[in-house]
Each structure stands twice: as C-alpha cells, then as structure tokens.
Amino acid sequence: MTMIPLARFIAEHKITMAADWADSNPNRDPSDRWNDSASHWRCTFRRGRRRMTTYFSMGPAHTKEPTAKDVLDCLASDSGSVENAQSFEDWASDLGYDPDSRKAERTFRICERQAKRLRQFLGSQEAYESLLWQTERL
C-alpha cells in the first residue's frame, strides 16, 4: 500500500479550512485545568458544497492558528481509533483509558460522532478510508 502525504490528500480532495479563535472547546471537560492555558479554535472545513465544523484545541506552546493538516490529522487519528475498536471497552483498553470511566466514554462518543461527520464530509467511504489508512500522519 502506498502512503500519500496529507497535503496531497487535502489538495486532491480540494479541502479548505478556516479557523476562528474560540473561548473554549465544548468537547473538552471544563474542569480540566489544561483548558485554561490552551488555545481553542472553531474550524470549518469546506469541500465543494460540503461543510464540516469542529472544535480544536492546542497547548500553550503552539502560538499559531491551526492548519487544515493539523486538524484533519487529529480527526483522522481519532476516527481511526474508533474504527479499530470493537466496542468502547476495546477502545479504552487500546488507548489506556479506564473502561469504567464516564469521562472516557464521553470522549469515545465524541470521537464516534466526529468519525461519522468526517465520513459524510468526505462524501465516500473510499475517501474516508484513504484518509485514515493510506495517508501519512504528521
């Protein structure tokens, strides 16, 4: 299987992204102190008439706006983790989460929803699988 660079995938699928600063990320646990020092972004991807909006957070060492490559790479990684799992317990075990944790299950459900939205945004199972399994990670 030949791997393609993420930049090439983005160009071939004519994906663009705009990032707007956000006060917070609704997908993150508000009690997590990391949120206080992180930068949060509302990212909108476009591909023809298709559009997908997601939130993205970066630690304080990252001082620039995220790129489409940054965000799409994270979405692909999260989606791949869900696709590889047989269940929440399997996913939690693979990633080192406590399978009895409600917080971990919430994270899993967010990843499941994002994977579904990413698949819909890309418009085909073939493009989705290409992003997940045939595109080089950053």
Task: Assess if residue 127 is contained within a domain.
Answer: yes
For 116, residues 6+ apart whose C-beta sits below 8 A from its C-beta are: none
Question: pLDDT, tens digit, for every residue of 111-132?
Answer: 999 999 999 999 999 999 999 9
In three-state secondary structure terms, 38 is coil
Domain that holds residue 48: 6-133
pLDDT at position 45: 98
pTM metric for this prediction? 0.93
For the chain, how many structural domains are there in total?
1
Joined together, the tokens standing for residue 56 give 């993205």
Task: Assess if residue 42 is contained within a domain.
Answer: yes
The span from the CA of 26 to the CA of 113, in Å, is: 14
Task: Assess if residue 17 is contained within a domain.
Answer: yes
Name the nearest CA neighbour of 135 among 55, 79, 56, 57. 79
Task: Assess if residue 129 is contained within a domain.
Answer: yes
Task: Assess if residue 76 is contained within a domain.
Answer: yes
Task: Assess if residue 12 is contained within a domain.
Answer: yes
Task: Assess if residue 104 is contained within a domain.
Answer: yes
Question: pLDDT, tens digit, for every residue of 37-51?
Answer: 899 999 999 999 999
The span from the CA of 103 to the CA of 79, in Å, is: 18
Mean pLDDT of 59-77: 95
Task: Assess if residue 1 is contained within a domain.
Answer: no
